[in-house]
Amino acid sequence: MPSRIERTARDAFGFESLRPGQHEAISALADGHDTLAVMPTGHGKSAIYQVAGLLLNGPTVVVSPLIALQHDQAGMIEEAPNAPDAVIINSSLSSGEIEEAWKDLGRKEAEYVFLAPEQLAKEEVVDRLRALKPRLFVVDEAHCVSSWGHDFRPDYLRLGEVIEDLGHPVVLALTATGSAPVREEIVERLNMKNPLVRTHGFDRPNLHLAVARHESDRAKREAVLDAVVAAGKPGLLYVATRRDTTKYAEELTKRGLRAAAYHGGLKAGERSEVHDAWLAGDLEVVVATSAFGMGIDKPDVRFVIHAAITESVDAYYQEIGRAGRDGEPSSIELHYRAEDLGLRSFFNSGAPDAAELARVFEAVASGAQRVGAVAEQTGLNQRRVSGLLNLLEEAGAVELGSKGAMVATDREGAEAAAQALEAAESRERIEQSRLAMIRAYAETRGCRRQFLLGYFGEGLPEPCGNCDNCDSGSAYDEQDETSDSAFRLEQRVVHPQWGEGMVMRLEEDRVTVFFEEEGYKVLALEAIEKNDLLQPAP
């Protein structure tokens, strides 16, 4: 006999079967256990909360970072054969539409409510949710809560407090890119209680992984264009800048391809037009910045090519994960020039000024709460003020809520600025550490799939046979010989200078360790043994 979970999945949503990992996560939630599910894009993470929400008696709150993604997720529920209603509460709706959504929830006509994290900064929103007594609280794209996640967002920081304000309903955190440090921080920041943590499906054996190295920018651009033209269609070309989306799209159009540019600077209607044409099959290539990301679900993408290196392995893995969701062979290629790392460092730089931080803090302390008021008082532009306020919030010096910014410490402006600078320096170490890891991926002579899986804490005993280094034979020459290593993956260790860390990668002569304050460090085994650098954590 089918279980209650399987019957609900079939009858309400038309799911004939559940994928590996889904059933276990749903079962844990139905039994009242907080759960972190790390699964690749397209694996069906949404099905977990859709089914679990019906097994728990009370509304399901889904925090999702993008308005377009909220509408897509709610639309999936509306298309299901017998699922209850889903409502959306966000800034794109009128006050009347929002009020009607609240009424539907109050009348129990709707089971699911989708919100952006910004909505939960409003006291009245949290109060109305509390009155509904939600039983399931879902954080989608949960890596946004982690400093080590590639898309960290300060608005996610308050979600742990909101969960407690709601009486700690069962918590489900979902992400497609959860390395071990990211997973740990998600659990900590969301106050998850003894959660079930499940990672599944990082290995995508149908994706052929390759890196092409170039000496000049011109040669790289020509090679990228040639690769896109030659690749099976449809596909995605990721570039670093908005300007490059237009330049590449124009050149590909000249070469006879149906191509379009996509970036965050386009008007909403223009973005929707490209998005819809892509899903309908009217475009062969979308040339995009990372803005073309969350919610993109097209199963037959035959290639993902990067014309520039990403800022992290996490971001790269998530973007290449949009290829080959139908299980058919697909091509993944990174075009890499060492000088591109300097561009990424430039994007990640922009250290705050201590005096500006102090001025912003003092403006808030004097009663200026809104960004516009702080900008007027300090003489800084609003975008700069927003960034400095976020940094002050991350450092615990201010709190950002529905009424604006409020002081959260009894320190003076200079001390608050020093706190924020420490946070900024930590973030800089994070960015540099992430760049070092994606550079290591680009430059490795070993199996690229072994590298990626190792980064996410999954081992692959033999080279994959489906990457450029396996094709050339270098992966077999460089094959890791870790059987005699004194360490193991995800082992806790202690370094005399950098403190406690976690083993992330093992190679024949070196080990990569993640340290919470310093990031990823690669240590030679000879140096470790000679200087007694790593000991098992107590």
Domains in the chain: boundaries: 4-199, 207-346, 349-427, 479-538
16 pLDDT band (50/70/90 cuts)? Answer: confident
Report the pLDDT value the prediction gives residue 294, as an integer from 0 to 100: 59
Q: For 363-417, how does the pLDDT look when each residue is reduced to its tens digit (9 = 90+)?
A: 989 888 888 888 899 998 887 888 788 788 878 888 876 677 888 888 888 888 8
Mode of pairing for the β-strands spanning 110-115 and 35-38:
unpaired
- In one-letter notation, the amino acid at residue 401 is G
Q: For 86-112, how does the pLDDT look when each residue is reduced to its tens digit (9 = 90+)?
A: 999 988 888 899 999 999 999 988 999
Report the pLDDT value the prediction gives residue 422, as an integer from 0 to 100: 83
Q: Which CATH architecture has domain 207-346?
A: 3-Layer(aba) Sandwich (3.40)
Helix (H, G, I), strand (E, B) or coil at 223: helix
Q: Are 350 and 390 in contact (CB under 8 A)?
A: no
Site of tokens 């709707």: 110
Report the pLDDT value the prediction gives residue 2, as an integer from 0 to 100: 56
Longest dimension (CA), the chain: 70
For 479-538, the fitting CATH number among 3.40.50.300, 3.30.565.10, 3.40.50.10680, 2.30.30.140 is: 2.30.30.140
Q: Are 247 and 241 in contact (CB under 8 A)?
A: no
Q: What is the pTM of this model?
A: 0.78
Q: Are 355 and 378 in contact (CB under 8 A)?
A: no
**How far is 426 from 48, CA to CA, in rounded Å?**
35
**How far is 231 from 503, CA to CA, in rounded Å?**
37
**How far is 144 from 161, CA to CA, in rounded Å?**
16
Of these ranges, 249-263, 314-328, 455-469, the one predicted with the greatest mean pLDDT is 249-263
- Any idea what the Cα angle at residue 9 is, between residues 4 and 15, rounded to 5°? 140
Structure tokens at 144: 């946004």
| Phi, psi values for residue 425, rounded to 5° | -65, -40
The two domains 4-199 and 207-346 share their CATH topology (first three levels equal): yes
Q: Are 205 and 25 in contact (CB under 8 A)?
A: no
- Does domain 4-199 match CATH 3.40.50.300? yes
- Domain 349-427 class, CATH top level: mainly alpha
